[in-house]
Amino acid sequence: MPGKKNEPYWFSAKGFGWGWGLPMVWQGWVVYAVFLVLCAVVVVVFPPSSRPDLFAGCFIFLTLLLVGVCWLKGEPPKWRWDGK
C-alpha cells in the first residue's frame, strides 16, 4: 500500500483544491502516458462526429479509471487552500 516507508506515492496531492498533480515516480508517468495513448485510440476508433455516444462513454470510463489509480496510488486527497 502506498505511504509505507519503502513505497512512495505515485501522485502528489495538489497544493490548491482537491485531487492530484503531476506524478512523483516513473510509474505515475507510465499511467499518464497509457491514459493519453488510450484517449488517442478512442478518438480514432470512435470519432465523436460519427459515434458520440461511444466516444463519450469511453472517455468517461478512461477518466474514472485514471481517478481510481490516482486514488489507490496517490496521496490522500483533501481540500487544500494554502499550498501546504
How do residues 7-51 score in pLDDT, each as one tens digit? 789 999 888 889 998 999 999 999 999 999 999 999 999 999 999
Model confidence at 5: pLDDT above 90: no
**Cβ(61)–Cβ(41) under 8 Å?**
no
Q: Counting beta carbons within 10 angstroms of the beta carbon of residue 80, is it exposed (0 to 12), middle (13 to 18) or buried (19 or more)?
A: middle
SS3 13: strand
Q: How far is the C-alpha of 66 from the C-alpha of 31, rounded, in Å?
A: 8
- What is the pLDDT at residue 57? 96
The helix-helix angle for 26-45 and 52-73 (nearest 10°) equals: 170
